[in-house]
Chains A and B, each alone.
Chain A
Amino acid sequence: MSAPESTSPPIISLTRLSKFYGNTVGIQDISFDVAPGEVLGFLGPNGAGKTTAMRVLVGLIHATSGSASVLGSDALNFDSQLRSEIGYLPGTLELYRQMSGQDFLNFLAQMRQRDCTNQFNSLAERLEVDLTKKLSDLSKGNRQKIGVIQAFMHDPKVLILDEPTSGLDPLVQREFELILNESRERGAGVLLSSHVLSEVEHLADRVAVLDKGKLLAVEKISTLKSRATRTLDLTFIQQVTQDVFSRVPGVEHVSIRGGQVTCEVVGTETELLKVAVEHGVVNVCSREVSLNDVFISLVENGVSQ
C-alpha cells in the first residue's frame, strides 16, 4: 500500500499546532498533511496527544498556537458548517443509551439536516448490528459499530477516527476496512488512531508517530521500517570472528555461536552482505521488521523526523 502521490490540496493540514493545558503539554508543534484518498495512521502511547489533536480538529478544544485547516478552511475558528463534511468517532464513545440505534442515528441525521436512513441501514446490515435495540442493551462492540456507522453515514470527505476498531471482532474489522477503503476511493482523507499497530500497518498509507505531545515521525511505513534496526541471521560453514562484522558500517550488535552469526543492522545491509559473502556465507535470513519494533525504537530513542 503506497501513499498517493497527490498534488491536490490536503484534506487536513496541521502546521505547528500546539495545545497546552496550563503548563502541561497536550501537543506541541505538530505538523502534517492528510491528502485526498489517504489514510494517515496516528500512533503513540496512551497520553501521547493523539486524541488532543483530533479534538482540536473537530472544535471540541481550542488550540494554543499554530494552525490547522480542513478542506482548505481554517479548522480553528469553530466553523460549524465545516463539520458537516467531517465524520468523527470519539475515542471514548458515549451514546444516548435510552435511545434505540435507529432513533439515535436518526437524531444525528436530523442534526446534520440530512436524510441518512439508507446509508445507516446499509452500514448496519454490513456490520451486523440490530438498530431496533436500545443502545443500553447493546454490547460494547455493538455500540462501537453504532459509533462507526454515525461517522460514515453522511459520506464525509474527512474522517477523524479515534481508535475506531476498539472492541470490534476480526470479522467486523474486515468489513470496517472495506468501508474505510470505499471512503478512501471516494477521495476522503482519513486520520485514524489506533494502538493496534498491525491494524495501522494494514490500513494506513503513512503513519504519524507521537510521543509526549511531540511528533517523532511522519513517514510511509516502508520508509520507517527501512530506518529501523533489522536482524539478520547468517550461517557460515567455517568459524568467523566477531570483529569481522562489528566493524561493518550500520552493524550495531553482533552475536556468534559457532557458525551462526546474528547481526542487528540499521540502514543499508549491502556492506554486511559483502563481508558475509567474502567469508563464505551459506544462508542469510532476514527477520521481518514489525511496525511494533519501529514504534518501540522511535519512542524509546525519541528519533525526530
Chain B
Amino acid sequence: MRFALIKKTWMDQRRSVLWWILGIGILCTVQLWVYPTIRDSAAALQKFLDLYPDALKKIFRMQDYTSGPGYLSTELFSLMLPLILIAIGCSAGARAGAAEEEDGTADLLLALPISRRATLANKVLANLVVLTLFGLLIFLILALGAPIVNLPISNFDLFAGVVSTTLLGVAFNSLTTLAGATSGRKGLALGVGVGSALTFYILFSLAGLVNSFEHALPINPFQWTIGHAPLFNGMDWVGCAKLAAFSVLCLVVSVWGFERRDIRT
C-alpha cells in the first residue's frame, strides 16, 4: 500500500467531494424537514395517491408513502441517493482508471517502482473509502435527523438501505474503473458507467409494466439494491453479496486488462 498515492487520489477529488457533501446534506435535510407536513396530511395525501395510476406508483415505489420507511424509500432511496452515489462512483472510477493516461502523467507514475496492479489497487481503495464515507454521512444525517422530525424508522433498516445503496455506487464505480483501465479513455469510461446505470435504472423502473424487463430483474444491480426494499425488510444479504461480487469481478478484470495494455502517450 502506498499512502502517498491514496492521499493523492483523495486530493484530486477534494473539490467535487466537498460539493457532493453539501448537496447530500441539503437534500437529506430538506427531505426530513418536509416529512412532518406529509405525515400530518397523511389521510388526504393517501386519497390523492390512490388516484395515481398503479404503473406510476410502481415506478416510484410509492407503496405506503406516508410511513417513515415508505417516505424515505420514495424520496431518497429509490432514485436520488442511488443516482448520487452512482455519479460519485462513476466519476471516481473514470479518474482511477484513465485520468493519468489522458493527462499524460501516466508515463511518470507507471515508470515508478510500483506495479500497475498495486497502482490501480491503491486508487480503488481510496475511492472505496470515499464512497463508504458518503454512505456513513447519509446514514448519520438520516439517523440523527429522523427522531427530530418524528420519522419512524429502525436504525438497522436505515443502515441496511444505506449499505445497499453504497454498494450500488461501488458496483458502478468498479464498472467505470474497468472501462477506464482497459481503454485508457476517461470519457469512454464515464459513458459506460453512467450509460449502463441509466439503462439498468430504466429497465428496473419499468419492470413492473413490461414483462420482458421483469425477466431481466435478476441481473439488474438496482434489483439487488432496492428490489427487496431494505428500508422495510432490513439487510438484503443476497443482494449485497451480488453487488459485492459484481464489483470484485469488475476490479479483477480491470487489473487484468490494465496490466496487459500499452499505455498511450
Chain A residues in contact with chain B, CB under 8 A?
Answer: 51, 55, 58-62, 78, 80-84, 86, 88, 90-96, 98, 107-108, 110-113, 150
Contact present for A111 and B2 (CB under 8 Å): yes
A60 and B111 within 8 A (CB): yes
Q: Are B116 and A78 in contact (CB under 8 A)?
A: yes
B148 contacts A by Cβ under 8 Å? no
A-B contact count (CB 8 A): 73
Q: Is B107 an interface residue (CB 8 A)?
A: yes
* A53, chain B: closest CB distance, angstroms: 13
- Which B residues are within 8 Å of any A CB, using their own CB? 2-5, 8, 11, 103-116, 118, 259-260, 262-263, 265
User: In the complex, A93 Cα to B109 Cα: how many Å?
Assistant: 11
Verify B4–A110 contact, CB threshold 8 A: yes
Q: Given A61-B262, A107-B8, A110-B2, are A95 and B112 also a contact pair (CB < 8 Å)?
A: no
CB-CB nearest in chain B for A154: B113
Cα distance, A153 to B157, chains bound together (Å): 54
Q: Which single member of A62, A83, A90, A93 contacts B262 (CB below 8 Å)? A: A62
Q: Which residues of B contact A98 (CB under 8 A)?
A: 11
- A21: nearest chain-B partner, CB-CB: B262
- Write the nearest CB–CB distance from B257 to chain A, whole angstroms: 13
**13 intermolecular pairs with C-beta atoms under 8 Å apart:** A59-B111, A61-B262, A78-B115, A90-B265, A91-B265, A94-B108, A95-B108, A96-B8, A98-B11, A107-B8, A110-B2, A111-B2, A111-B4
Minimum C-beta distance from B4 to chain A (A): 4
On chain A, the residues within 8 Å of B113 by CB distance are: 80-84, 111-113
A96 to B114, CA, bound (A): 18
Contact B107 A55 (CB under 8 A): yes
The one of B2, B8, B103 in contact with A94, judged by C-beta atoms closer than 8 angstroms, is: B103
B108 to chain A: which residues have CB within 8 Å?
88, 90, 93-95, 108, 150
Which residue of the partner chain B has the closest CB to A104? B108
Question: Considering the chains assembled together, what is the distance between the CA atoms of A86 and B110 in angstroms?
Answer: 12
Q: Name the residue on B nearest A90 (C-beta).
A: B107
Taken together as a complex, chains A and B put the C-alpha atoms of A96 and B3 apart, in Å, by 17
A33 to B263, CA, bound (A): 25
Q: Which of A60, A62, A82, A110 contacts B110 (CB 8 A)?
A: A60
Q: In the complex the two chains form, is A111's CB within 8 Å of B5's CB?
A: yes
Apart from A92-B265, A96-B105: 12 A-B pairs, beta carbons within 8 A = A55-B107, A59-B111, A60-B262, A60-B263, A61-B263, A78-B116, A90-B107, A91-B265, A95-B105, A95-B108, A110-B2, A110-B4
**Are A59 and B104 in contact, CB atoms less than 8 angstroms apart?**
no
Contacts of A58 in B (CB 8 A): 111
Q: Which residues of A contact B3 (CB under 8 A)?
A: 110
Max chain A Cβ within 10 angstroms of own Cβ: one of B11, B110, B118: B110
* B-chain residues with CB within 8 Å of residue A83 when the two chains form the complex: 111-113
- Which residues of chain A are near B104, meaning CB under 8 Å? 92, 94
Closest A residue by C-beta to B265: A92
Q: Which residues of A contact B263 (CB under 8 A)?
A: 55, 60-61
A47 to chain B, nearest CB (A): 12
B263 closest partner in A (C-beta): A60
B109 partner residues in chain A, CB cutoff 8 A: 111
* Cα separation A94 to B263 with both chains bound (whole Å): 14
Shortest Cβ gap from B100 to chain A (Å): 9
Residues of A within 8 A of B112 (CB): 80, 83, 108, 111-112
**A-B residue pairs, 4 tightest by C-beta:** A94-B104, A84-B113, A110-B4, A90-B107
Residues of the A chain whose Cβ atoms lie less than 8 Å from the Cβ of B105? 94-96
Q: Which residues of A contact B116 (CB under 8 A)?
A: 78
- Docked pose: A23 CA to B3 CA in angstroms: 41
CB distance from A58 to the nearest CB of B (A): 4
Smallest Cβ-Cβ distance to B2: which chain A residue:
A111
**A107–B112 alpha-carbon span in the complex (Å):** 11
Identify which of B8, B103, B107, B118 contacts A60 (C-beta below 8 A). Answer: B107
In Å, the complex CA distance between A251 and B162 comes to 86
A166 CB to closest chain B CB (Å) equals: 15
Taking CB atoms, residues of chain B closer than 8 Å to A84 are: 113
Residue of A nearest to B5 (CB): A111
Q: How far apart sit A108 and B4, CA to CA, in the bound complex (Å)?
A: 9
